[in-house]
A = this chain, B = another copy of it.
């Protein structure tokens, strides 16, 4: 079957592909905020209709949270499952967006055209690169390249609470030869990548309560304990002066980075100052004994993602607050066990509480790190396919992010995950003014056509 005709079809259909993506981006499918529940369903329905328009047997499947989208086409050759997620991050701080996050726009920038809007890169734009590649293939050949299962989730940005139960209940249906996952990035604008190492993620929220109400700091200040001070002391104590995390036994299961891998990463010529300079920083701030790339790809971290307490409005209020809260996440590597770390973290916090303070914890997801087997020749074939599309040869890389589903496919279903994506470091995912480069979208679609062609022949 001709790949060139498919690539050509992708080029001529690009405007229509963009229109479809913009339509999907207009749906504010923020999964973490209950106010947007109906919009999540709307996005799922839109995807089902789009798949059906290509003749794919697709439907939404209810879950206790947001629906899954599942579609199947039969065919010869390997069985490929494609995973993406249609939900997006919240948009706050809204004031920092240059325009409505859900009124997406194609913009000219000094570095080329970009698709601007929430979800453009994470993950609607990426998800649609695969869908558009399949559409072009079908248009040219009247059929799909092989047996494909489409599997879209709507809870990825809120910890995927329904995912594992759904995968267990539908194990037979979701078991394939490879799970293609499009939620990662290029190494850089010239070098495409297959991501083979991912960090795990542990999310914790804690609220410290002191008095039973907010107090007047004049009347009580000095004598009453201040929970913001307590919380600040705990957060300050989570790292030592060298940037190491102090939760007991935290580093159990963290592997040494092999000399081989160090050498391979060193060859990539990663420029920490350039990487950090892109966001107005200059100094790697993590463990002082590791390079910035090692810090991001292979070392565990602890970050405070949010903190709040007391009066935070305009002006001043001399309140001595009753409560203070924080959201804290840990990125995990190797064999670190998120559930053990959760218990050790909570015990450490409790041990630091002064008299009269109590703490409540809320769990926000826990996934182990993943390092995936690339010995199957399909990986080399996919790498070659990507290398054909981009200026430089594709690389097997690590990634600081966490994509728990990759581990679920590997460990629960025995399906080899293959993570290919086209995001760039400056896409501002999870931030205001998120964008996806037109190049990522266009060459992304073309990349999937090449990968499908390569894998279908295996």
Q: Which A residues are within 8 Å of any B CB, using their own CB? A: 31-34, 89-90, 92-93, 96, 157-159, 199, 201, 203, 205, 210-226, 228-229, 231-233, 235-239, 272, 275-276, 279-287, 292, 295-296, 299, 301, 303-321, 324-327, 329, 331, 354-356, 364-365, 399-402, 425, 428-433
Contact A401 B219 (CB under 8 A): yes
Give the shortest distance, in Å, between A232 (CB) and chain B (any CB): 4
Contact A399 B203 (CB under 8 A): no
Task: Find chain B residues with CB under 8 A from A224 CB.
Answer: 276, 279, 281, 285
Contact A216 B431 (CB under 8 A): yes
Q: Name A201's contact: one of B93, B96, B318 (CB within 8 Å).
A: B318
Q: Name A430's contact: one of B93, B216, B233 (CB within 8 Å).
A: B216
Contact B432 A214 (CB under 8 A): yes
- Copies of this chain held together in the complex: 2
Contact A303 B221 (CB under 8 A): yes
Contact B329 A316 (CB under 8 A): yes
Closest residue on chain B to residue A201 by CB atoms: B318
Task: Find chain B residues with CB under 8 A from A210 CB.
Answer: 281
Give the shortest distance, in Å, between A378 (CB) and chain B (any CB): 26
Give the shortest distance, in Å, between A138 (CB) and chain B (any CB): 34
Contact A32 B313 (CB under 8 A): yes
Closest residue on chain B to residue A92 by CB atoms: B313
17 A-B pairs with C-beta separation under 8 A: A33-B314, A199-B218, A201-B318, A203-B316, A210-B281, A211-B281, A213-B433, A217-B305, A221-B301, A222-B295, A233-B236, A235-B236, A283-B355, A305-B311, A305-B319, A306-B317, A308-B312
Contact B222 A296 (CB under 8 A): yes
Q: Name A217's contact: one of B226, B283, B319, B329 (CB within 8 Å).
A: B329
Contact A430 B319 (CB under 8 A): yes
Contact A279 B225 (CB under 8 A): no
- Give bound CA distance, A93 to B309, whole Å: 10
Contact B212 A280 (CB under 8 A): yes
Contact A306 B312 (CB under 8 A): yes
Q: Name A90's contact: one of B201, B221, B313 (CB within 8 Å).
A: B313
Q: Name A216's contact: one of B223, B321, B401, B433 (CB within 8 Å).
A: B401
Closest residue on chain B to residue A315 by CB atoms: B32
- Give bound CA distance, A433 to B276, whole Å: 48
Contact B305 A212 (CB under 8 A): no
Task: Find chain B residues with CB under 8 A from A355 CB.
Answer: 282-283, 285
